[in-house]
Structure 1
Amino acid sequence: MLDLSKYASIGAALKDALDRFAAELCLIEADREREKERLTYRDFKARAHRLAQAFEDAGFSAGDRASIIMTNQSKWLISAYAIFFAGGVLVPLDYKLTPDEQWQLLKHSGASVLVTEYPIWRQLSDAAGAATANVKTVLVTEAPPNAELAGARRWEEFRATGEPVLVPRTRKDTACIVYSSGTGGRPKGCMMTHENYLEQCVALTSLYPFWPGVRYLSILPTNHAIDFMVGFFGPLTCGAAVVHLRTLRPEYVREAFPKYKITYVSLVPLVLKNLQKGLEARLEALPAGKRRIFKALAAINKAVTKGRPRLGISRLLLKQVHQAFGGELRAIIVGGAFTEAHTLQFFYNLGIPVANGYGLTEAGTAITVNDLKPFRADTVGKPLPGVEVRIMNSASDGIGEVAVRSKTVMKGYLNDPELTAETIVDGWLMTGDLGRFEEHGHLQLAGRKKNMIVTEEGKNIYPEDIESVFEDLPVKEFCIFAANYIWPKRSMTGEQLVLALHLEPGQRFSNELRAEISARNQRLLNYKRIHGAVLLEEDFPRTASLKIKRNVLAERLAKLDRAAAILPL
């Protein structure tokens, strides 16, 4: 790979990578049975530089902000590189958000350019938020020949001739504005610097290296912090290839592993658990004799890999399993949320290491990663090289708040110095997560200190962000909490949201009210829905400006018995 210590920016590093690995395979894009294209690094450069020149010709300059809202595909990576090359700040947004949510974040970010797909643009252009945003140029991919583009331009035609000149940036300049949350509430746009990504890439590839010939299957959205690093910046600075599937139907994902000889793939815990269930079902369907043989081979593999992975031995002992994954899979990378130990152990016993770690958007991609020396299913690994982790205000059992100091930590939240000061204290990022170090230096997580949940899909949900759905609810007052914030539980799984209610005098929690809450709940995406209601028979504590004192209210609710207090919807 490149020596990233010599580079000041993502654009400069990628520019040299495109030249150094010019003849290597860079991208594969497939749609169901059909492979749409293969690009070498030379092909990638030719497309991206024409786009970068067009950005510069259009007046896009250093520090300007450009957003990408797209599914995983080669055009995502080409567009991102062109933005960095032109000195821009990338704003990657989740294509699964609603148009109103996307416009809200586009407005907050100050993006002047938007790159998106035609189906997404059709929905965005019909939404009301367009009038309030700063977007001046919209580039739309794969639009039908006679389509009405509502002022947008075709991505495929936004090209210029000539060789563009790299716009230099410094390591301390903002490279990306990444939203950890904020749709409907207080936007949390993490300002990530070029240094954040350069340092993170060096640390991660020291444990899990890429090289020419490696093939990474990109399944997580590229706007996700994990896939941005290990499905874009990491592979391209090492000469590896990224495989994009334009459909994520399970049968096509399964076929991709043997077809493209996948080396690495990143998953969220929910997908990993579903994969485990599928493999367990296939194992149970085997005839009794074959099932006993398989379990015996798995037990042997577990014994010989106790100290470290031995991929060669595992592929011989459990040949059919590894062939189903293409025979070249070195590890599954999992993150975005907590993964249960038995799931990690299941795959390791089959000779498929899972690179389990812990991180959050504010700290780059990862804080700790299990280095598999030896494999530990009950921890999230050790701090990455260059990352300091402390346990603050620990109790007698050693559990306290996890704090992080590193060159990978963001420089702050966009336009929110108050929240930045609350989150980064004396140079330490206060994560809001609880944990402790065990005797061998591995971090064990034990719950959350902050009012939020993380779903198995890797989605960060802040209660404030969804309260707008319940505005004008026919009650005196309400507030949404993470249940584990009110009633702390030493667990990172099964997190739920609850709706705290104070009813009007004489009002009952009637079937009509329950139905009204349920109807509003259905408007939310499934991972944002509340799971129950809690009644409080007193006024909510408020500040002089009438804002609810959430911490005080949580203390009052905590006096209630959790099991009895939460009413099902």
Structure 2
Amino acid sequence: MKTTVTEIIEKSIAKFANYDAVIWPEKDEIIRRTYREMGEDIARIRSGLHEAGFTEDAHIATVGRSSYPWVTTFYGALTGNSVIVPIDMNLSDDDIIDELNRGDVVCAFVDPIKKTLLERIEAECPKIRKIVLLTDKDGEYSYETWKAFGVGAPLFEIQPADPDKVAAIMFTSGTTGVSKGVMMTQGSLGADAVNMYYHLAPGSVDLSVLPIHHAFCLTVDWIKAFEQGVTVAINDSIGHLVKNIKKFEPHVILMVPLMIETIYKKMKSVNPLVPKKLVGSQVFGKNLKHIICGGARLDPKFIDEFKKYGVDIWMGYGSTETSPVVSFNGERGIKWDSLGRPIDNTEVKIIDGEICVRGDIVMKGYYNMPEETNKVLKDGWFYTGDLGYLDEDGYLYMSGRKKNLIILANGENISPEEIEGAFSTVPIIGEIVVVGQGTNLRALIYPDPEKAGKMKAEQVQKEIDKAIRDYNKKQPSYRRLAGYELRDEPFPKTSTRKIKRDLITMF
């Protein structure tokens, strides 16, 4: 029997009623909501949506940062059998309007930061009948006013959910091409949360730092954590991360590789006479023992380095189309250089070098894009577009993206991610992208601004020259870098810090 997201949240509200569900900083205070209080607010949102005529299958958008109003709106819509459409608020206004329209949204909950967009939504999104601001301030459009409306409406009970029913349409961030609306079902999200095997005690703290509209954050922080009665602490700003780690003392944090690389470089800059375990405790607090990493490939050497600071990195693999976690290093076995073994009830096989996935976690398809759907869903298998292999023990390894593969004029095939990873611990290199040019490989490099800012330009170039020479000495001729170019600005990125390679021009 498939577990649905609605079943998970309904059971958690009852089972963990008196535990804190969500906490967040507000000035010098920590604001708290228990599972019982959260359940009451979810019911108010659900009842308000139903009373306003947004019934089963209505598409409800959330455009905003991680917040308690966002989370209760998400569950309010899902438990009433509506379809939630999370949208990245950091997109351009044009792209937000486009995804609202392509997602067939009829009601939008919008962060007050995007208040200037309301007139455009009203003018350019003809299907949207109601806009609500995700704020606790009273007003015609506010979340608090909407909750009050829900209190006055007849109670609309939690609706039983069909596991195969579409629960969410999540637009891929799109490192290349137009974004696609991934249709995730009640059962695919539920299966991913239930079958991802790691355990925290009720009341443990999960510090949520990634964008909430992203599948990795949404499923692990806001569904898996709730399934276990965990308290989710909202990190209000990436600039406040270290301060909030000290404030909330989390037991687990989700991160993407770029965050891990940045933290490592800062820890490495500490006086080497200071014991690494002491540095780790100062940065991560007394409770944090595990960081769950996903979203992109992480060089395994960071796992070894973080161990020295007293923290294990559990690497996983997945994509939005798989709800998202496919494999995971955790309590059931670990190979530190791998991406773990497939989670329960999920099959992985390699077809012509490509990682393919089958199971309850796989999406229903791309919304209103049948041709794109047919390209990746074949005979029950989802073709991920990632290159990799399974070892003799069933652990998964990834070498790069199929679409990023560099085919040199001499016929050699190169995964640029593998070469870029070799420079991830070089202090002077902030970001690097490797491309092919004829029979050679070349690099575009953005120096680390903090490190480079303290050095003359000649010294920066000298250190980068040395890093490339050291790398080339260990490589066969076809994997050596023939040259590089420095850039003054960081690479354009998605909201999950993946570099948008299609926007990069060089040489």
Task: Output the TM-score relative to the length of structure 2.
Answer: 0.79
Give the Cα–Cα distance (whole angstroms) in 2 for the partners of residues 89 and 66 of structure 1.
6
Q: Is the 8 A contact 1:496 1:531 kept in 2?
A: no
Matched residue type, 1:138: I
Match of 1:241 among 228, 231, 235: 231
- What SS is found at the alignment partner of 1:120? helix
- What SS is found at the alignment partner of 1:177? strand
- What SS is found at the alignment partner of 2:362? coil
- Structure 1 43/416 Cα, relative in aligned 2: closer, same or farther at 3 Å? same
Matched residue type, 1:229: T
Q: Is the 8 A contact 1:445 1:492 kept in 2?
A: no
Give 1:14 deviation, angstroms: 1.0
Residue 12 (structure 1) aligns with: 7
Residue 94 (structure 1) aligns with: 88
Give 1:381 deviation, angstroms: 1.5
- The gaps in structure 1 that reach 5 residues or longer are 147-151, 296-317, 394-399, 452-481, 501-517, 534-566
Matched residue type, 1:131: E
Q: Which structure 2 residues correspond to residues 277-288 of structure 1 after superposition, within 5 A?
A: 277-282=265-270, 285-287=271-273
Match of 1:492 among 391, 405, 417: 417
Q: Which structure 2 residues correspond to residues 550-561 of structure 1 after superposition, within 5 A?
A: none
Give 1:432 deviation, angstroms: 1.1
Matched residue type, 1:528: K
- Structure 1 200/128 Cα, relative in aligned 2: closer, same or farther at 3 Å? closer
Match of 2:329 among 370, 379, 393: 370
Residue 17 (structure 2) aligns with: 22
Residue 528 (structure 1) aligns with: 500
Give the Cα–Cα distance (whole angstroms) in 1 for the partners of residues 162 and 321 of structure 2.
20
Residue 155 (structure 2) aligns with: 163
Q: Is the 8 A contact 1:448 1:484 kept in 2?
A: no
Q: Is residue 136 of structure 2 the alignment partner of residue 121 of structure 1?
A: no
Q: Is the 8 A contact 2:188 2:361 kept in 1?
A: yes
Which protein shows a greater Rg? 1
Match of 1:221 among 178, 187, 211: 211
Match of 1:344 among 286, 303, 316: 303
Give 1:405 deviation, angstroms: 0.7
Give the Cα–Cα distance (whole angstroms) in 2 for the partners of residues 203 and 259 of structure 1.
31
- Structure 1 373/191 Cα, relative in aligned 2: closer, same or farther at 3 Å? closer
Give 1:133 deviation, angstroms: 4.8
Give the Cα–Cα distance (whole angstroms) in 1 for the partners of residues 138 and 223 of structure 2.
33
Give the Cα–Cα distance (whole angstroms) in 1 for the partners of residues 415 and 169 of structure 2.
32
- What SS is found at the alignment partner of 1:153? coil
Give 1:93 deviation, angstroms: 1.1
Give 1:111 deviation, angstroms: 1.1
Residue 128 (structure 2) aligns with: 135
Match of 2:169 among 146, 160, 177: 177
- Structure 1 105/244 Cα, relative in aligned 2: closer, same or farther at 3 Å? same
Matched residue type, 1:236: F
Residue 447 (structure 2) aligns with: none
Q: Is the 8 A contact 2:175 2:502 kept in 1?
A: no
Q: Is residue 386 of structure 2 the alignment partner of residue 433 of structure 1?
A: yes
Give 1:137 deviation, angstroms: 1.0
Give 1:444 deviation, angstroms: 1.7
Give the Cα–Cα distance (whole angstroms) in 1 for the partners of residues 40 and 304 of structure 2.
45
Match of 1:153 among 141, 144, 151: 141
- What SS is found at the alignment partner of 2:195? helix
Q: Is the 8 A contact 1:404 1:430 kept in 2?
A: yes
Give the Cα–Cα distance (whole angstroms) in 2 for the partners of residues 255 and 335 of structure 1.
23
1:286-323 CA-partner distances (Å, limit 9, x unpaired): 44xxx5xx37xxxxxxxxxxxxxxxxxxxxxx355235
Match of 1:194 among 157, 171, 186: 186
Q: Is the 8 A contact 2:97 2:124 kept in 1?
A: no
Residue 504 (structure 1) aligns with: none
Match of 2:367 among 414, 420, 444: 414
Q: Is the 8 A contact 1:370 1:382 kept in 2?
A: yes
Give 1:346 deviation, angstroms: 0.9
1:509-532 CA-partner distances (Å, limit 9, x unpaired): xxxxxxxxx9xx999989436576
Give 1:17 deviation, angstroms: 1.6
Q: Which structure 2 residues correspond to residues 492-511 of structure 1 after superposition, within 5 A?
A: 492-493=417-418, 494=420, 496=433
Q: Is residue 224 of structure 2 the alignment partner of residue 231 of structure 1?
A: no
Give 1:107 deviation, angstroms: 0.6
- What SS is found at the alignment partner of 1:59? coil
Matched residue type, 1:360: S
Residue 471 (structure 2) aligns with: none
CA RMSD of aligned residues (A): 3.0
Q: Is the 8 A contact 2:136 2:144 kept in 1?
A: no
Residue 515 (structure 1) aligns with: none
Give the Cα–Cα distance (whole angstroms) in 1 for the partners of residues 2 and 80 of structure 2.
20
Matched residue type, 1:278: K
Give the count of matched residue pairs: 436
Residue 343 (structure 2) aligns with: 384
- What SS is found at the alignment partner of 1:135? coil
Give 1:358 deviation, angstroms: 1.0
Q: Which structure 2 residues correspond to residues 67-106 of structure 1 after superposition, within 5 A?
A: 67-106=61-100
Task: Output the TM-score relative to the length of structure 1.
Answer: 0.70
Q: Which structure 2 residues correspond to residues 467-482 of structure 1 after superposition, within 5 A?
A: none
Give 1:247 deviation, angstroms: 2.3
Give 1:359 deviation, angstroms: 0.7
- Structure 1 131/278 Cα, relative in aligned 2: closer, same or farther at 3 Å? same
Give 1:135 deviation, angstroms: 1.6
- Structure 1 108/133 Cα, relative in aligned 2: closer, same or farther at 3 Å? farther
Q: Is the 8 A contact 1:448 1:485 kept in 2?
A: no
Give 1:244 deviation, angstroms: 0.7
Give 1:485 deviation, angstroms: 10
Give 1:448 deviation, angstroms: 2.3
Residue 423 (structure 2) aligns with: none
- Structure 1 133/497 Cα, relative in aligned 2: closer, same or farther at 3 Å? farther
Q: Is the 8 A contact 1:181 1:189 kept in 2?
A: no
Residue 505 (structure 1) aligns with: none
Q: Is the 8 A contact 2:2 2:190 kept in 1?
A: no
Residue 195 (structure 2) aligns with: 203
- Structure 1 125/170 Cα, relative in aligned 2: closer, same or farther at 3 Å? same
- Structure 1 116/484 Cα, relative in aligned 2: closer, same or farther at 3 Å? farther
Give the Cα–Cα distance (whole angstroms) in 2 for the partners of residues 271 and 286 of structure 1.
22
Residue 560 (structure 1) aligns with: none
- What SS is found at the alignment partner of 1:230? helix
- What SS is found at the alignment partner of 1:52? helix
Q: Which structure 2 residues correspond to residues 266-277 of structure 1 after superposition, within 5 A?
A: 266-277=254-265
- What SS is found at the alignment partner of 2:158? coil
